[in-house]
Structure 1
């Protein structure tokens, strides 16, 4: 079993947290559909809406963890298909390259990662009709099902972190990487209270994006340096 590269969880968390503007632009409509579909009495009371929002978002993160476990398992299989030391280095190198690309994306310097979003469109076309059947949301169970489906929406950030999950070479570590990513998205996508608004405003600032991008690039370079 390969050892997970240092900083990989923090990197995943930062991608989720500081990629918030991207998440809000892509998923704002889904958040709005959930909220507007609730009973007006629930929408007017944040305490009544809280269980729906929490269930929705926790189920979404559970979907990320499921995908992370699957991709981590794929990495474990790859380790068995070739000489262990060779494949270990390849996966570490892949993780480092993906971190660098993510940093360039977050900093606004290169959007190559956005190409990955188009690759997931085929899967989402099959899942989207299931999501429409769950609207309007009438109970937390529906919110949970919708949130779990939402985890599979085409998103360059999500898919890029999934590539990093492959590099862990472990079902558990792959799931934990995606849990860290999901935790980072919570402040922006929970959709209630001043915290989400403040996080969104901060993440819109160019210097914040660039600092985040440089941090993630640094993690990627460190991962590649470990190969030597």
Structure 2
């Protein structure tokens, strides 16, 4: 099945308001580490922390996000590879169409989740705790996050945090039919989340508070919801193929 990566990128971009809550504290801490390493030189202002050097803060945030997106790509490759193998062994002719439908249903669920209208994805996230409980003890070896390798490794581990949004896109990655295709889907998704998390790492808590406002989450949720609804309509045959193909994650 041919997959369009543009809508996957857009889902990551819109869904990154959720990443603000999941990763915002970690990304902010990366800048904070650099801040604490700078010695204040302004007399009479010892109680205030100076801003971190922009280059150092950017490198730490980039390292963290490189690790995070790398773990997404590994998960996408594993999911797509296993799904492709299982489909071939079972010789299921229409599994791709059903997986396509489920992936778009999950996008609808994600849109509602971002708008705080339905929290059903929390049950999906709870299932991911089985793996996360095994990974969590490893975090103690990465604290404090005072080097670039530690930031990268922390991002790699944090990419496995139970997240309904990531699980939704993993279903799309399964449609690619190959490990390389699955990794490409998750790379596009991770790249979509990158701009906001980079800005968050450099701008700090003020941007985080603005992005958690209901209006911002509603607008992003509506965009993700629209992608899911378009995909479902395409699956049902309610839309003609044409330029709208570019707005669907794949064609059943």
TM-score (norm 2): 0.76
Instruction: Give me the whole-angstrom Cα distance separating, in 1, the residues matched to 2:103 and 2:139.
Output: 32
Once the two structures are superposed, residues 160-187 of structure 1 have per-residue CA deviations (whole angstroms, 9 ceiling, x without a partner) of 2212222333322221221122122223
**Change beyond 3 A, Cα 1:199–1:41:** closer
Give the equivalent residue in structure 1 for 2:19: 23
Is 1:137 matched with 2:149?
A: no
Conserved in 2, the CA contact under 8 Å of 1:34 and 1:143?
yes
Conserved in 1, the CA contact under 8 Å of 2:15 and 2:220?
no
**Counterpart pick for 2:81 among 73, 77, 82:** 73
SS of corresponding position for 1:226: helix
Is 1:13 matched with 2:9?
A: yes
Give the equivalent residue in structure 1 for 2:104: 96
Between the two proteins, the alignment pairs up a number of residues equal to 223
**Change beyond 3 A, Cα 1:28–1:214:** closer
1:196 positional shift:
9.2
Larger radius of gyration: 2
1:104 positional shift:
1.7
Give the equivalent residue in structure 1 for 2:37: 40
TM-score (norm 1): 0.83
**Structure richer in helix, relative to its length:** 1
Cα RMSD (Å):
2.7
Unaligned runs of 5+ in 1: none
Unaligned runs of 5+ in 2: 40-50, 238-252
Conserved in 1, the CA contact under 8 Å of 2:80 and 2:181?
yes
**Stretch moving more, 111-120 or 99-108:** 99-108
**Stretch moving more, 77-86 or 57-66:** 77-86
